[in-house]
Amino acid sequence: MNDETGGAETFTKFMEKELIPYIDSKYPTMNYRTLIGHSYAGLFTINMLVNHKHLFQNYIAIDPSLDWDGQKLLKEAKQKLSTESYEGKSLFVSLAAEQLHMWNEEITMENIMDDSSEFTLFARSIIEFSNYTKSQKQNGLNFSWKVYNEDLHGTVPLPSIRDGLIFLFEWYQFKSPQKYNNPETPLEGLVSLLKEQEQIYTEHFGVPTAPMIDEMLNGYGYMNMEMGQPKKAFMFFEMNIKYNPTSANAYDSMAEYYESQNDKENALKYLNKAYEISGDDYYKERIEALNKK
């Protein structure tokens, strides 16, 4: 503990200049990122939000060590949170309160801020940061924090990650699933719901984003075919192709739609497209079988 500590700026530079570009070059990513850190990594997470907020949209700081170096980052954070904009950023902070009783059973969440011992500085720093951050509504930061009375420093990461992700992605929750599943919902109503969902995702992710993943678009297409609602089925299959133009399965599903409508010409058109994309013999066999009908 007496050794020289720090190095956050060096590690941040590595993440920004090397790690993130490497990941982006290897995987189909987008610039919507979440950073999660526990203990001193929680301290690092808050440092990233305060000093390098352009790198991540979401932050989960689990039992962060804000007592470090005489509360250095806590003091810096309070100054920046009161003067800078954090619009579009979200932060979830957790505190493990079970260890408060380990040295002094009289210490509770109700009286801890009246204590001045070194032992409670860790928890008091998190409480001070969280209460201050919650009060700074003008900066646009989407913030929440939670005390885990039954957890220790070593057990709090699991519930914190779950609760933190639920908070950060509350907007992602699919809207009105019962209307999609109800055969009484008109086509125009479904189109309106899908546009609303698309707008929510696009605004948060910063790039045009489909209102549903491909499996759901396909699933709703087939469900409406089974319910005898071909116009709705066509709408879902067409949207799947729009957002997944390189998916052979999307074209194959549209081919099945046309088969159900006894439109052999269009069914073959979409099967040929699926085969062109994938080269899979499955589609070749489907084309041959349909040509024999």
Which parts of the chain fold into alpha helices (H)? 8-14, 20-26, 40-51, 68-81, 121-135, 157-168, 177-181, 187-205, 214-226, 230-243, 248-260, 264-278, 281-291
Q: Which helix (H) or strand (E) holds 95?
A: strand 90-96
Query: Boundaries of CATH 3.40.50.1820 in the chain?
Result: 8-171
CATH architecture label of 8-171: 3-Layer(aba) Sandwich (3.40)
CATH 1.25.40.10 intervals, the chain: 174-291
- Burial-class residue 189 by CB neighbours within 10 Å (0-12, 13-18, 19+): middle
- The tens digit of pLDDT for each residue in 114-132 reads 988 888 899 999 999 999 9
- What class, spelled out in words, does domain 174-291 have in CATH? mainly alpha
pLDDT tens readout for residues 147-189: 999 999 999 999 999 999 999 999 998 889 999 999 999 999 9
pLDDT in tens, the chain (293 residues): 567 778 999 999 999 999 999 999 999 899 999 999 999 999 999 999 999 999 999 999 999 999 999 999 999 999 999 999 999 999 999 999 987 766 677 888 889 899 888 888 999 999 999 999 999 999 999 999 999 999 999 999 999 999 999 999 999 988 899 999 999 999 999 999 999 999 999 999 999 999 999 999 999 999 999 999 999 999 999 999 999 999 999 999 999 999 999 999 999 999 999 999 999 999 999 999 999 88
Contact in structure between 81 and 56 (CB atoms under 8 Å): no
